Amino acid sequence: MRQTCNSDGGVGSTENVQARGITLLSIFVDTPTAEPNPETKLLADFKTDTHLRKVYLAGREYLNKEGQTSVSPLIGKIMQQICTDPTLCPEYPSSFGLPEFTRRATELVLGRDCHAIVENRVLGVQTVGCTGAVRLGAELLKHWYNVSGVWCGPVYLSSPCDDSLAGIFEAAGIQDVRRYRYWDTEQRGVGVQKMMEDLEMAPEQSVIVLSASAHCPTGSDLSQKHWRLLTQLMVRCRFFPFFLLPAQGLCHGDFQQDAWPVRLCASLGMELLCAQSFSHSFGLYGERVGHLLCVLKQSSTLLAVQSQAEKQVRALWSRPSVRGARVVATVLSNPAHHVEWQEGVKSMVERGILVRERLREKLRLLGCPGSWDHLIQQGGLYCCTGLNVQQVEFLEKRRHIYLHPNGCLNPQFCLAAPPGSLQRRHTPKLAVWLCLSTHRIIRVSCLRSPLPSL
């Protein structure tokens, strides 16, 4: 390390500062250690758990038959093509991202012949994953929603919801974040009545964050009948819907059906935001491919909102990263690729349904008290078992099985070799059986085929 002379002729090195007996307090001395986010903590606890048969069921990814995240051969091929394509140049993309991507992402949600698209009152912005889309949407709302009044919330989130959501709105400067009841433990499904009750009490111009399909973390969604009731309420109370659509296609295996609530609101002429992710449906988690859709009432407002969105993006990350979006755009723009990809998504869904059915069947065979139909009624990545906090803790502490504290899990991880376990290459038959009794603590065991001899 080059030693340089400072103005008083002495040699300036970091050791010297301490040697001169100057104990300088760090400017960060008052920065507290942050509470770890629940997911990180859960995974960290799992990693430090030395139990041989530990299982992590809270993963955020879709897994293939081998229990790994993967991309389909189609995606792999397209990535190779992109890598060797001499016509692609490393230019800065626009702040809105790749136009072909935003166009296709928009069409995927709304349908190509959606009135809003035809009437040119739709804005699409490529974002850094679904989180980036929610953050951008929150910033737009905070800065520009109802400019004449000073709107600062409230924003309503479902209870439960993804645990980063509240923080995103708060970071955007919206402190007034409230909850509406969603998951009903008794019914083991959406408690629609309670949900509507809570929303009836919400002030006008509240922003309601809604899961279009495959609700995270419960996997339980509203029926179409209930969506119609909800949208009537929203129109009447002048609410602003902010949809989350992180896994379109992966709930019902049908892209239209998974986006149905968004299309319903658009067809009713409502304004809305929709945060999309392509992480799950393309297996491109690391590429952070997200999209924020904004449907406006009038095309006359589009340019202004677009210009403000650009400003917000500029101050967040300037422009998004291109690679993942390019892959998605390539697939969605090519009819043959599109079909192949959709088929791939459908088979992921079928696999997911099979896992759920196996889980339910196993529980039935073990004589587990209670009804477990909700496991197959739920869709998407997650599944809410209905286990309570004590039961989840029991599973973790006594059986080394890790679920989300709210009792939700990713059923695919039940079939996969747990990461870090001795059985990396061996897919065990794993059954989780739960015996519930109103009077006793539950017992949970993992049954597994015998460990291979070491």
Partner 1 sequence: IMSLFGEVPQATPVAVFKLSNDFKEDANPKKVNLGVGAYRTDEGQPWVLPVVKKVEKIIVADNSLNHEYLAILGLPEFRSSASKIALGEDSPAIQENRVGAVQCLGGTGALKMGAEFLRRWYNGNDNTKTPVYVSAPTWENHNAVFANAGFEDVRPYKYWDAEKRGLDLDGFLGDLESAPKHSIFVLHACAHNPTGTDPTHVEWMQVAEVMKRRKLFVFFDSAYQGFASGCLDKDAWAVRYFVTQGFEMFCAQSFSKNFGLYNERVGNLTIVARDSDNLKRVLSQMEKIVRVTWSNPPSQGARLVAITLNTPELFAEWKDNVKTMADRVLLMRASLQAKLQALETPGTWDHITQQIGMFSFTGLNPKQVEYMIKERSIYLMASGRINMCGLTTKNIDYVAESIHETVVNVQ
Q: Which of residues 332-371 bind partner 1 (CB under 8 A)?
A: none
32 in Cβ contact with 383 (< 8 Å): no
If residue 332 lies in a helix (H) or strand (E), which one and from where to where? Answer: helix 323-333
Positions 253 through 272 that interact with partner 1 (CB under 8 A): 269, 271
Work out which of 34, 150, 336, 454 binds partner 1, going by CB under 8 A: 34
Which region among 66-74, 247-255, 381-389, 396-404 touches partner 1 (by CB under 8 A)? 66-74
Site for partner 1 in 237-256 (CB under 8 A): 240
Determine the Cα–Cα distance for residues 231 and 241; give it in Å rounded to an integer. 9
Say whether residue 17 binds partner 1 (CB under 8 A): yes
Q: What kind and span of H or E run contains 434?
A: strand 431-435
Q: Which of 208, 234, 296, 332 is close enough to bind partner 1 by CB under 8 A?
A: 296
For residue 157, the cross-strand partners are 179
C-beta of 186 vs 204, nearer to partner 1: 204
Sole binder of partner 1 in the list 19, 27, 150, 454 (CB under 8 A): 27
Does residue number 6 form part of the binding site for partner 1 (CB under 8 A)? Answer: yes
The two three-digit tokens of residue 140, written as one number: 């737009």
Residue 153 lies near partner 1 (rule: CB under 8 A): no
Residue 128 phi/psi, 5-degree rounding, is -85, 85
Q: Is 284 helix (H, G, I), strand (E, B) or coil?
A: coil
Of 257, 317, 405, 427, the one binding partner 1 by CB under 8 A? 317
> In angstroms, rounded to a whole number, what is the distance separating the alpha carbons of residues 419 and 424?
7
Rounded Cα–Cα distance for residues 392 and 399 (Å): 10
Cα angle 197, 200, 202; round to 5? 115
Among 9, 21, 28, 453, binds partner 1 (CB under 8 A): 28
Give 66's contacts (C-beta < 8 A, 6+ positions apart): 416, 427
Query: Could you say which of 99, 203, 286, 369 contacts partner 1 (CB under 8 A)?
Result: 286
Among 49, 100, 145, 442, binds partner 1 (CB under 8 A): 145
**Member of 171, 268, 354, 422 binding partner 1 (CB under 8 A):** 171
Nearest Cα to Cα of residue 14 among 27, 25, 3, 30: 3
Report yes or no: 279 and 130 within 8 Å, Cβ to Cβ.
yes
Selected binder of partner 1 within 303, 354, 422, 441 (CB under 8 A): 303
Separation between Cα atoms, residue 238 and residue 232, nearest integer Å? 10
Q: Does 150 bind partner 1 (CB under 8 A)?
A: no
CB 214 to partner 1: min, Å: 18
Cross-strand partners of 211 = 244
Least distance to partner 1, CB of residue 102, Å:
15
Burial class (CB in 10 A: 0-12, 13-18, 19+), 338: middle
User: At 452, which amino acid appears?
Assistant: P
- The least CB distance from residue 156 to partner 1, in Å, is 16
Q: How big is the site for partner 1, counted in residues (CB under 8 A)?
A: 94
Chain centroid to Cα 407, Å, comes to 17
Compare residues 63 and 392 and give the one whose CB is closer to partner 1.
63
Q: Which is nearer to partner 1, 243 or 372 (CB)?
A: 243
Considering only residues 198-227, where is the footprint of partner 1 by CB under 8 A? Answer: 205
Candidates 218, 312, 330, 423; binder of partner 1 (CB under 8 A) is 312
Binder to partner 1 among 30, 186, 425, 440 (CB under 8 A)?
Answer: 30
Question: Which one, 135 or 400, has the nearer CB to partner 1?
Answer: 135
Binding to partner 1 by residue 103, rule CB under 8 A?
no
In 253-379, DSSP assigns E strands to 272-277, 289-295
Q: Which of residues 70-99 bind partner 1 (CB under 8 A)?
A: 70-71, 79-80, 83-84, 89-95
- Tell me the closest approach of the beta carbon of residue 300 to partner 1, in angstroms: 8
Q: How far is the CB of 237 from partner 1 (least distance, A)?
A: 13
Q: What are phi and psi of 248, to 5 degrees?
A: -60, 130
In the list 53, 100, 144, 228, the residue contacting partner 1 (rule: CB under 8 A) is 144
Question: Who's near 410: CB < 8 A, 6+ residues apart?
Answer: 57, 58, 59, 60, 61, 381, 382, 383
Residues 114-133 that bind partner 1 (CB under 8 A): 128-132
Least distance (Å) between residue 398 CB and partner 1: 29
Q: Please identify, using beta-carbon distances, which residue of 7 and 453 lies nearer to partner 1.
A: 7
What's the min distance (Å) between Cβ of 382 and partner 1? 16
110 three-state secondary structure? helix
- Tell me the longest C-alpha to C-alpha distance in the chain: 83
Helix (H, G, I), strand (E, B) or coil at 17: helix
In angstroms, the CA 54 to CA 415 distance is 13
